[in-house]
Amino acid sequence: MNIFQKIWVAYLQKPYSLWQLRTYSKKKPVKLVIGSCYTFFPGWIHTDINTLDILKKENWEKYFRPGSIDIILAEHVWEHLTPEQGKLAFSNCFRYLKPGGFLRVAVPDGFHASPDYIEMVRPGGWGQGADDHKILYNYQLMSAALADAGFETKLLEYHDEAGVFHQAEWDAADGMVKRSARFDDRNRDGKLGYTSLIADAVKPGARV
């Protein structure tokens, strides 16, 4: 994190997030980033735990009506939650998404082919933030957790049990995941230096 990002997180992120939450237009598509840290995407509402704790019902109720959000983006958030907390957070997202809306969720990939990657991202691993990781998802665990919350799952990027990487087409305008095969600058010359397990969790129903 560079000096400008540190200043943003320390002094500016919270007031900006609160201003967005209090003033967003309900007449436009509601696109929400949770765990936004220092990211900034035009047209999106940016939140972090200090402005929207996704585990707390009262936090959601303060700013949103059930069935009112079009898209939720969460890049590397769910690995910081216990499995039980993750299930609650998925249920809260499901409740506040519109029918046909979706949660785009990205986490470290537990079936990644590289042992060094696994050691970096596993709970207690040596990578940045891994000391706070509670679970290492793979596509099976993620799909099951999302199904339990009522979602239909579309896998966008993931490794399977054999360590083979799979990738579907996805639109970054519907949620930019920087730690992805497409956008992480550690991926060069056709080699994947860093990828995530990325899924779109769709709330069944007609898009409104």
Decide if 66 is inside a domain. Answer: yes
Looking at the chain, the whole-number percentage of residues with pLDDT higher than 70 is 100
Residue type (1 letter), 100: G
Residue 208: per-residue pLDDT: 62
Stated pTM of the model: 0.96
CA distance 2 to 178: 17
Is 116 within a domain? yes
Q: How many independent structural domains does the chain possess? A: 1
* Rounded to 5°, angle at Cα 2 from 41 and 108: 65
Mean pLDDT, rounded, of the chain: 96
pLDDT digit string (tens) for 14-70?
999 999 999 999 999 999 999 999 899 999 999 999 999 999 999 999 999 999 999
Q: Which domain holds residue 197?
A: 3-20+28-202
What are the structure tokens assigned to 165, written together?
């990487």
Reported as a single tens digit per residue, the pLDDT across 170-200 is 999 999 999 999 999 999 998 999 999 999 9
At residue 90, the pLDDT reads 98
| Cβ neighbours, 10 Å, residue 36 | 25
101 found inside a domain: yes
Predicted pLDDT at 9: 82
Query: In whole angstroms, what is the distance from residue 197 CA to residue 208 CA?
Result: 28
Whether 104 contacts 78, CB under 8 Å: no
Residue 153 maps to a domain: yes
The C-alpha atoms of residue 124 and residue 163 are separated, in whole angstroms, by 22
Going from the C-alpha of 65 to that of each of 15, 70, 97, 166, 198, the distances in angstroms are 22, 12, 9, 36, 27
Do 38 and 1 touch, CB atoms closer than 8 A?
Answer: yes
Does residue 42 belong to any structural domain of this protein?
yes
Cβ-based neighbours of 184, under 8 Å, separated by 6 or more = 178, 193, 194, 195
**Above 70 in pLDDT, residue 138?**
yes
Kindly state whether residue 207 falls inside one of the protein's structural domains. Answer: no
CATH number at residue 130: 3.40.50
Q: Is the pLDDT of residue 141 over 90?
A: yes
Per-residue pLDDT tens over the stretch 86-136: 999 999 999 999 999 999 999 999 999 999 999 999 999 999 999 999 999
Task: Name the burial class of residue 162, with classes exposed (0-12), middle (13-18) and buried (19+) by CB atoms within 10 angstroms of its CB.
Answer: exposed
Give the model's pLDDT for residue 10: 82
Residue 208 resides in a domain: no
Whether the Cβ atoms of residue 199 and residue 146 lie closer than 8 Å to each other:
yes
Is 73 part of a structural domain of the chain? yes
